[in-house]
Amino acid sequence: MLDGKDWQGTGGASEQAIKNLIASAPILLPESYLSFLSHCNGGQGPLNSQPMWLCLYPAEEVAEIERDGTFHEYFPCNFVIGGSCGGDAIALNVSNIGTVQVVRFDMTNIDLEESVQPVAPSFEELIALIGNLEN
């Protein structure tokens, strides 16, 4: 999944951490995201598109953010899984019924039309955007 990618990651999440994440999620999480966590429980690296840097949080942190409801009021339909290390959150967005796309949003701008921007149409395509070691 991350072969040849410029990714600084950690070991995989425990089975219990993934179960806790699934239990906390208000959406059906993509299998590709859960598979990613089982191999790499978070990490960071460059993206070949905006926001240019991707930091994916460990399963435990994602579950805690969801339980705390940090973004529920101002950023509904967005399940935060990481950030850009520069003020943007990275989220799985379920505003279109039946689809889960990856978006970024400026955590200081609650105007959804202005703030929420697409990053990738799926989690798989987000991983494909991670920079290669050769670049």
Cα–Cα distance measured from residue 105 to residue 33, given in angstroms and rounded to the nearest whole number: 19
Phi, psi of 16 (to 5 degrees): -65, -40
Region 72-97: mean pLDDT is 91
Phi, psi of 125 (to 5 degrees): -75, -25
Region 29-37: mean pLDDT is 97
Q: How far apart are the first and last CA of the chain?
A: 18
Cα–Cα distance measured from residue 101 to residue 11, given in angstroms and rounded to the nearest whole number: 25
The verdict on whether omega for the bond into residue 118 sits within 30 degrees of 0, i.e. cis, is no
| Full-model pTM | 0.93
pLDDT surpasses 70 at 134: no
Q: What is the pLDDT of residue 14?
A: 98
DSSP-derived letter for residue 116 is: -
The per-residue pLDDT of the chain, averaged, comes to 93
pLDDT surpasses 60 at 82: yes
